[in-house]
Structure 1
């Protein structure tokens, strides 16, 4: 018996110091209920429940509510297109500041975010001169025509190749640039990244494996018309196991909580494979709907997290894909539009941001604009059509910002997607 007691005490000490991280002695307090002021009894309880996230959300919420209160006008909120165009155009004319050297491995991404933002606001805002600069830059990263690294001399990577193919689709085959893409080499490289479990490494030897890699690989292959059974073998099983009990998707099977970015990657991948029926779509609809915060009106990326403008696309496009395939709308598009136009842009600074108090950047500018395009459109698709044939219909219940129609699966203007895929309709080259 004494030995058992000794083990129990030792276990308790281990839990108290090692697992909980610090000692937490028991605190006893005698309360005389007759002297208790009941008007203040709830405050200590709420204080105990506060976390860094709840405090941050309270601050954001106060800023958002103040903006909504002061931002009312008879004509409603509008997108300041010309102001944002100035911000994006400058990026192609000057060298980026030293503090952005951390993005050296994201050069194709920077090109995609900026070029796509211009195209989404106006299909004619990406000039031929800028298209040529983009093409020259990308083929200086990979003179062989792909796959592409994040910059010159860097290893080919799934994410940077995805961004490079996306931005090349925006260049409208200027100077025959699409013929310079080596589809056979990219296909063989994609096969070399395949894992036995159905996933894809993001990079040879050292790359991670998760739903992002699957989406990038399938999007590249679908856009270049090199999607084969060999490439997609095992992918469905991997994706199906990534759906969490919440309804959204994590990064890997049975590992992560549901997340907006992973959920988009999985949903778009399943749409490319035309196999959304293999998952629990009802739970996915519920999860997407629950990510729209009632007070802020925008989306958060995970349960009990802060609103962020980029999820206007990551979650909004996931919902739009489901809408296109006949599952109905699962969020308030007008409320999301108000969040983007009132809380993600400001008068003093061009570009769009994730939330009040943050600075604008190219990433959030692109995905907020894509999310805005989703709110102002209705989506439909014939049952047997591939996702590049998804149709956008103007949402007559919402005032239009006159944006370019966007395909929610690819995050690109619909016409650019269709032209690009049609150009490579011959399938895999010999």
Structure 2
């Protein structure tokens, strides 16, 4: 008996990650007015997640109730937070991001462009491009840092960062499209997916999106590159309606779902999936009373899903599916709960710290909340139209497929296509 109890404790703490004992509460809903009525009894299991959610709800409700004015974006404070990343060394605890240098450049540059297209100065652009071509002097593909293996995620972030910069120094002409194309082909798998890195990479929907985003922006999409990709993505849709990382295996997740849906739009194959189930899954990600979005079933809200799930909903808007999420409520969550009046930058939820990742994707989510999306008459160009909101944030219009300001996407693609 003692050995079994010890084994259960080991499994709970080391494999399941549970730090608290499960508590069962018995709730009776007996109607005192009618003793003959059947008494319904429900057992509510209390877990780490349910406890954490109660805490988040309490913090969100306090922020909503304490608000005295119409919420506004703390533009100047967030700009200072972003500028600091170009003028200060990263703290020691962020050393792990050494393999994500193109991502840091993309998150910071994109956030500045979204806040105001003029915030990304010529000096910043020069430094970004010099850094990227120090990582890959040959013009791509790109690794996470100098001397590191080329990686799909790093190449995606690098191309996005370059797209955010003007071509004043002919940096765009330094990109080696052929080398990147040949590398993408070398990553292609028989099942239609892409390995994220030669030899050691994963094969999932993130890799597919990164490959297709890069290829479509550089004008190197071919039948050879896209063969079997639609089937791979279709098989990643779970019974919930969202998408997992791999075919027939994973639970639906906000990040994987965005990657799959954006990829299917690039491939003009949205009609191949179960759209009603996807729409239902997106709507279920918005939680009440927090008003924000979660990335999976029975998980907490997180500001980054304002783009990953909100972006998925925006892509579906292009096909006439409006109102998958309540944009007004999501905007409230972002402006009330993802900002801290005494600290710049954007955070995932009350009680956490801001960072560059969340600042970027929350700003993108806010831009999506304040606009509607549709396709042009020829069905190719994404059009963005401001919605009537009180105290608009005046952010740049966004192309939800690429997570970039519309103007930058158009200029970059026009250069290569």
TM-score, normalised to structure 1, is: 0.87
* Structure 1 residues 94 and 18, CA gap change in structure 2 (3 angstroms): closer
Partner Cα separation in structure 1 for residue 96 and residue 254 of structure 2 = 24
Is residue 118 of structure 1 aligned with residue 112 of structure 2?
yes
Q: Deviations over 1:120-179 (max 9, x none)?
A: 000110000010000000000000000000000000000000000000000011301000
Partner Cα separation in structure 2 for residue 145 and residue 377 of structure 1 = 35
Residue in 2 that maps onto 1:34: none
Shift of 1:278: 0.3
* Structure 1 residues 44 and 324, CA gap change in structure 2 (3 angstroms): closer
Residue in 2 that maps onto 1:242: 236
Secondary structure of 1:255's counterpart equals: coil
Is residue 143 of structure 1 aligned with residue 137 of structure 2?
yes
Residue in 2 that maps onto 1:317: 311
Is residue 51 of structure 1 aligned with residue 38 of structure 2?
no
Partner Cα separation in structure 2 for residue 155 and residue 324 of structure 1 = 37
Is residue 128 of structure 1 aligned with residue 122 of structure 2?
yes
Residue in 1 that maps onto 2:405: 413
Is residue 174 of structure 1 aligned with residue 168 of structure 2?
yes
CA contact (8 A) 1:193 1:203 kept: yes
The structure whose Rg is larger is: 1
Is residue 390 of structure 1 aligned with residue 386 of structure 2?
no
Q: 384, 404, 429: which one pairs with 2:396?
A: 404
Residue in 1 that maps onto 2:353: 359
Shift of 1:98: 1.5
Secondary structure of 1:391's counterpart equals: strand
Partner Cα separation in structure 2 for residue 18 and residue 254 of structure 1 = 30
Partner Cα separation in structure 2 for residue 204 and residue 301 of structure 1 = 29
Is residue 61 of structure 1 aligned with residue 57 of structure 2?
yes
Is residue 335 of structure 1 aligned with residue 313 of structure 2?
no
Secondary structure of 1:313's counterpart equals: helix
Residue in 1 that maps onto 2:24: none
Displacement over 2 Å in runs of 4+: 16-22, 41-46, 382-386
Residue in 2 that maps onto 1:6: none
Q: Deviations over 1:167-203 (max 9, x none)?
A: 0000011301000000000000000000000000000
List aligned pairs for 1:75-114, cutoff 5 A.
76-114=70-108
CA contact (8 A) 1:128 1:174 kept: no
Q: Deviations over 1:224-267 (max 9, x none)?
A: 01111110000000000000011000000111110000000000
Q: 130, 141, 157: which one pairs with 2:151?
A: 157
Partner Cα separation in structure 1 for residue 166 and residue 292 of structure 2 = 33
Secondary structure of 1:174's counterpart equals: coil
Secondary structure of 1:175's counterpart equals: coil
Q: 198, 203, 208: which one pairs with 2:202?
A: 208
Deviates more, 1:94-103 or 1:228-237: 94-103
Partner Cα separation in structure 2 for residue 319 and residue 139 of structure 1 = 35
Partner Cα separation in structure 1 for residue 310 and residue 181 of structure 2 = 30
Partner Cα separation in structure 2 for residue 120 and residue 205 of structure 1 = 36
Partner Cα separation in structure 2 for residue 148 and residue 127 of structure 1 = 24
Q: Deviations over 1:287-322 (max 9, x none)?
A: 001100010000000001000000000000000000
Structure 1: stretches of 5+ with no match in the other structure: 1-12, 23-37, 426-430
Q: Deviations over 1:23-56 (max 9, x none)?
A: xxxxxxxxxxxxxxx9xx999943xx00110010
Deviates more, 1:321-330 or 1:210-219: 321-330
Partner Cα separation in structure 2 for residue 160 and residue 95 of structure 1 = 21
Residue in 1 that maps onto 2:247: 253
Is residue 423 of structure 1 aligned with residue 410 of structure 2?
no
Q: How many residue pairs are counted as aligned between the two chains?
A: 390
